[in-house]
Structure 1
Amino acid sequence: MKQLSILIFITFFSFSSFAQDAFTLVKEGELAPDFTIVLEDGSEKQLSDLKGKVVWINFFADWCPPCRKELPHLDKEVYEKFKDQAFEVLVIGREHDWTTVHNFKKEKGYKMPFYPDPKRDIFSKYAKQNIPRNFVIDKNGKIAVASIGFKEDEFKGIIEKVSELLK
């Protein structure tokens, strides 16, 4: 019985890890898919406009518990730390509109910028499902980090990678 339990445990975690990877549409080392975000004032910004900067893209939803755990770290440990360097954070609300992301940001007291992706137009260039997701884009526009979910130790590793990329 103990062996069966161990086998089920290993199978489950192997499958769940594979299933998450199967939903990722881009890989580290590849050129990041370009996209356009609409700013609150109606103007637009393209990812390609940010070439020469390190860009941290975070996909979240306000109802997602791991996203809610991760976002305070992203705001304080990443945005506040690197905002005055050649760095940008794009926090993108999957299936959210401006009202939702604005209210969520205000309610939580975040300083980092939030953007809506109401029809998953941006998200669908990077993944099929599962959030939170983080993609760090290097100064040349290539994906340096692609991560799924939130684990504090992995998150700290991503921050270290950003520090290296900014040197």
Structure 2
Amino acid sequence: MIRKIRPALACLLLAMSLAASAAAPATPSPRAGDIPPQILGKDRQGNVVDLASQRGKVVIVTFWASWCGPCRKELPILGQLQKVIGHDALQVYAVNLKEPRADFAAIARSRKAPPLDYIHDAKGEVSDQYGIQTIPHMFIIGHDGSIAGVHRGYSEKSLPKIVDDILALLPEDVRNRKAGG
């Protein structure tokens, strides 16, 4: 009799824990004025990416996935922005959301991949810290390290306004210099 009860009890406990975790509130997404989580994981070379090392620049952290159409439209625009402005004033991190490494690597290594710094968040640890529930989801971080703007679940039509928001944070001399900084 006890042998029959144990599996049933184990199933009941598992169901209760799953229900409790589903009901648990997600980490809230950082908002304008907040200092975001500083560690984004490791880049493709295995180096830890720490946003604190980017203070003084405008930093974009965007969460994306290969299956997300708006994300795939956004990345080339951000890549061009990175190329034109240069790494001395702008740093763009594209954090891949919970995809298998092979899917992530296929895009990041592609010749057509925009020239961005890609981070693979396979287990969702970074995205969970940022409270990501929708993609695309972008954080624009100002020179002081605090979030200047947040854009989530946007379409291709929103991208010109987002680019304007980014450019507005750059010093005038950076906005007016020749491409490639």
Q: Which residue of 2 aligns with 1:106?
A: 109
Q: Which residue of 2 aligns with 1:81?
A: 84
The count of residues paired between Structure 1 and Structure 2 equals 145
Q: Please give the alpha-carbon distance, in whole angstroms, between the structure 2 residues aligned to 1:97 and 1:79.
A: 26
Q: Which residue of 1 aligns with 2:12?
A: none
Matched, 1:40 2:44: yes
Indicate conservation of the 8 Å contact 2:62/2:137, yes or no. Answer: yes
List gaps (5 residues or longer) in structure 1.
1-21
| Identity level (%) | 28
Q: TM-score, normalised by structure 1?
A: 0.76
Map 1:86-97 to 2 at 5 A.
Answer: 86-96=89-99
Q: Which residue of 2 aligns with 1:49?
A: 53
Indicate conservation of the 8 Å contact 2:27/2:129, yes or no. Answer: no
Q: Please give the alpha-carbon distance, in whole angstroms, between the structure 1 residues aligned to 2:89 and 2:160.
A: 19
Q: Please give the alpha-carbon distance, in whole angstroms, between the structure 1 residues aligned to 2:170 and 2:118.
A: 22
| Max Rg structure | 2
Indicate conservation of the 8 Å contact 1:98/1:115, yes or no. Answer: no
List gaps (5 residues or longer) in structure 2.
1-25, 172-181
Q: Please give the alpha-carbon distance, in whole angstroms, between the structure 1 residues aligned to 2:132 and 2:117.
A: 24
Indicate conservation of the 8 Å contact 1:67/1:150, yes or no. Answer: no
Deviations 1:126-146 (A, max 9, x none): 224110111000011111110
